[in-house]
């Protein structure tokens, strides 16, 4: 359907809501999903109209995150995001909670509404979660300072969800991290050491996948984890070469990287899953003769040696910068930021295989 603007009460308008309601009954549907963000009032009205659970895009993503989180920190981050999303629903949407409830002591004075009680309990839990995550962030910074005393080149693998980041991480490091053909298979950052052809070692981290219109609650909750990305010396931006909307996915990832302060971190674009499109492993060079793009297949093990070579080049730049007395300097201090390089044409003559 096309509308000039969403309907304030139902998002889709009363006529379309009735039409969909008939289809839901015919299909014996158990839930309705919207690939948009609904207001609390819209969600409540649709539930009343259809008598079915209604979930919007934000809640679906939060639910998937809750199912996939494994580490203690990951679970805390997801719970914080869900509670903050729920608190907005309590404030604006659910009138059935606005009934009076008596009480004494800490449970609320006479006349305090159930809504106020629920809001207060949510507020207490949110503060506790923020305090716990703050402690974990402090511990993370302490570990980072310890790593800085023993400097190692840091690589973060980033990209759109289900682009094959964990499979690439396993192909590079032999870590055996969980990898699956599903959204947000990885929520907990995993780090392993990688021995490079030059003999040096790099620290490689697998990170949570990004997605279009990532709920702001998740961006905020995962700030501590995403800080690792912003502090990296190199980003491997993994792209699903078989995805028809890969250009849009690249733009979405770039947008999130800007939000977390990783704009200036040098990056290499890794076009993954070339086995699905019948393309051979190859690289594209920037105007300085350095690798800025790689076509590879992590699942098939194609092009992994080219990726190690590209990391090798960045390590050499990083070492050179440190040798010239720039403490903590990364490859971006040498002018190797790929964003400054012109786009390399697709013609094979412009690539070095």
CA distance 317 to 303: 22
The pLDDT assigned to 64 comes to 79
The pLDDT assigned to 98 comes to 45
Is the pLDDT reported for residue 188 higher than 50? Answer: yes
Is the pLDDT reported for residue 317 higher than 80? Answer: yes
Instruction: Give the model's confidence band at 236: pLDDT under 50 very low, under 70 low, under 90 confident, else very high.
Output: very high
Residue 135 in tokens: 């402690």
| Share in percent of the chain as helix, strand, coil (round to 5) | 50, 15, 35
Residue written as token pair 């659970």: 53
pLDDT digit string (tens) for 1-15?
Answer: 888 899 999 999 999
- Other C-beta atoms closer than 10 Å to the C-beta of 327 total 8
Give kind and range of the element (H or E) at residue 50. helix 40-50
pLDDT digit string (tens) for 94-143?
Answer: 444 444 444 444 444 444 566 677 777 888 888 888 888 788 777 766 76
Length of the chain: 353
Enumerate residues 6+ apart whose C-beta is below 8 A from 299.
164, 167, 273, 275
Most confident of 48-52, 66-70, 103-107, 178-182: 48-52
The pLDDT assigned to 111 comes to 45
Is the pLDDT reported for residue 270 higher than 70? Answer: yes
Strand, helix or coil for residue 315: helix
pLDDT digit string (tens) for 165-181?
Answer: 889 998 998 866 555 55
Edge-to-edge strand ranges of the sheet holding 291-295:
190-195, 201-206, 153-159, 234-240, 267-272, 291-295, 282-285
The pLDDT assigned to 273 comes to 96
Please report how many Cα atoms fall inside a 13 Å half-sphere around the Cα of residue 274, on the Cβ side: 19
The pLDDT assigned to 210 comes to 74
CA distance 338 to 267: 6
Is the pLDDT reported for residue 207 higher than 50? Answer: yes
Assessment of whether the complete model's pTM goes beyond 0.75: no
Residue 150, judged by CB atoms within 10 A of its CB (0-12, 13-18, 19+), counts as exposed
The pLDDT assigned to 86 comes to 77
Mean pLDDT taken over the chain: 77
263 against 236, higher pLDDT = 236
Most confident of 72-86, 142-156, 302-316, 335-349: 302-316
149 against 81, higher pLDDT = 81
The pLDDT assigned to 2 comes to 84
pLDDT (mean) for 41-47: 91
Residue written as token pair 């903590």: 328
Residue written as token pair 């013609």: 347
- Other C-beta atoms closer than 10 Å to the C-beta of 127 total 10
The pLDDT assigned to 85 comes to 78
pLDDT (mean) for 77-96: 68
Is the pLDDT reported for residue 182 higher than 60? Answer: no
Taking the CA atoms of 234, 335, 330 and 74 in sequence, report the sign of the dihedral they define: negative
7 against 331, higher pLDDT = 7
Q: Which of 58, 57, 75 is nearest to 66 (CA)?
A: 75
The pLDDT assigned to 323 comes to 79
| 130 phi/psi in degrees, rounded to 5 | -60, -40
């Amino acid at each position: 359907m096309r509308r000039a603007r969403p309907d304030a009460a139902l998002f889709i308008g009363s006529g379309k809501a009735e039409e969909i309601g008939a289809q839901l009954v015919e299909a014996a549907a158990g839930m309705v999903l919207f690939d948009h963000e609904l207001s609390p009032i819209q969600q409540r009205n649709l539930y009343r109209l259809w008598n079915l659970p209604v979930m919007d895009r934000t809640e679906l993503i939060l639910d998937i995150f809750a199912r996939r989180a494994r580490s203690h920190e990951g679970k805390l981050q997801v719970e914080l995001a869900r509670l903050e999303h729920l608190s907005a629903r309590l404030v604006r949407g659910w009138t059935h909670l606005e009934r009076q409830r008596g009480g004494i002591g800490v449970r609320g004075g006479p006349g305090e509404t159930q809504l106020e009680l629920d809001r207060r309990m949510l507020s207490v839990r949110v503060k506790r979660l923020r305090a716990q995550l703050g402690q974990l962030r402090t511990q993370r910074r302490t570990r980072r300072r310890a790593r800085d005393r023993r400097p190692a080149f840091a690589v973060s693998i980033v990209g759109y969800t289900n682009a094959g980041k964990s499979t690439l991480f396993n192909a590079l490091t032999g870590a055996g991290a969980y990898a699956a053909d599903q959204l947000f298979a990885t929520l907990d950052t995993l780090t392993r050491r990688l021995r490079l052809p030059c003999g040096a070692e790099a620290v490689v981290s697998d990170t949570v996948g990004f997605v279009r219109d990532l709920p702001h609650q998740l961006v905020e909750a995962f700030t501590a984890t995403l800080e690792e990305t912003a502090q990296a010396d190199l980003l491997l931006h993994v792209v699903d070469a078989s995805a028809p909307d890969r250009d849009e996915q690249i733009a979405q990832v770039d947008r999130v990287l800007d939000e977390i302060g990783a704009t200036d971190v040098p990056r290499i674009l890794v076009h993954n899953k070339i086995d699905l499109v019948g393309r051979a492993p190859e690289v594209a060079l920037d105007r300085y003769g350095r690798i800025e793009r790689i076509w590879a297949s992590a699942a098939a093990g194609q092009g992994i040696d080219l990726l190690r070579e590209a990391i090798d080049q960045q390590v050499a730049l990083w070492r050179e910068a440190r040798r010239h007395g720039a403490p903590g300097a990364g490859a971006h201090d040498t002018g190797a930021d790929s964003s400054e390089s012109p786009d390399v044409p697709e013609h094979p003559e412009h690539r070095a295989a």
